[in-house]
Amino acid sequence: MPRWSIEKPEQLTFGPVTGLSVRIVAGRLAVLASDGPPTLEVTDIRTPPLIVTHDDDGHLTVAYKDLTWDGILGWLRPGSRSTTLTLTVPKDCPVQAGVITASAVVAGLEGRTSVKSVSGEIVLDGVSGDVHAETVSGSVESRGLAGDLSFSSVSGELTVAGGTPRRLRANTVSGGITTDLELTPTGHVTLNSISGTVVVRLPRTADSDVTIRSTSGRIESAFPDLQGVSHPGMKSITGRLGGGMASLSATTVSGDITLLSGQPATITNEEGA
């Protein structure tokens, strides 16, 4: 099994890659889909070295030897361990990407993608397929989402811009959730936060069943066809937009929830103002 120890800027080219696992601490990471041969380019690195292996089954691993996938969210070791690297792999390659404080961009992938971050910012650009993102305080921004996205965080924020998800599930404690969505007929969106703010923008012509609930947060909607109800300990807005083929659910305890139409408009339905 080929093995490299990367201690200085270097570029490697690999044979067929059937899976990628990359784990770094600080710096910048880019994982890009490409039709060319898989490559690794390291443009900056500090001690200790990165260990690179490419096993007989085609799985490529780029990581510090003492940083495991399961240990990323609990990483407490001192030192910056900063590195800047770019990886290119086939668009259908399954990817695990983990960072501590590093920023990461994952672009163009269509297979199963899993990302973990402690406080580093994650950008998912044109990523489809089955996507899982987990952070402690790091934010996740998704651009052009098509597929399934599952997001969980303590205080990190999720932003989905121009998304057409089949499934979108987001859970935070205090992190905010902001989504600009165009739902497919079978699209299913579930957004939950304890105290974080939730903002959803749908097209004016959306076809979706909508359920929005909060215990003490403010609820606002730009869709007058939805019905608002307020009871002690619970406020809600529910109803059907268009044919109601998709579904949208948003729930908070104390966080505010705002449902916007496809273009900026005056909010016409309000509960708990």
Residue 267: its pLDDT value, please?
Answer: 39
Q: How far is CA 39 from the centre of its chain?
A: 24
Mean pLDDT of 177-190: 93
Q: Over the stretch 82-95, which tens digit does the pLDDT of each residue have?
A: 999 999 999 999 99
Three-state SS string across the chain, please? CCEEEECCCEEEECCCCCEEEEEECEEEEEEEECCCCCEEEEEEECCCCEEEEECCCCEEEEECCCCCCCCHHHCCCCCCCEEEEEEEECCCCCEEEEECCCEEEEECCCCEEEEEECCCCEEEECCEEEEEEEECCCCEEEECCEEEEEEEECCCCEEEEEECCCEEEEEECCCCEEEEECCCCCCEEEEEECCCCEEEECCCCCCEEEEEEECCCCEEECCCCCEEEEECCEEEEEEEECCCCEEEEEEECCCCEEEECCCCCCCCEEECC
Backbone φ and ψ for 109, nearest 5 degrees, come out as -80, 150
Averaged pLDDT score across all residues of the chain? 92
Mean pLDDT of 216-230: 91
The pLDDT of residue 41 is above 50: yes
Residue 79: its pLDDT value, please?
Answer: 66
Q: Over the stretch 252-263, which tens digit does the pLDDT of each residue have?
A: 999 999 999 975
The pLDDT of residue 96 is above 90: yes
Pair 193, 158: CB distance under 8 Å: no
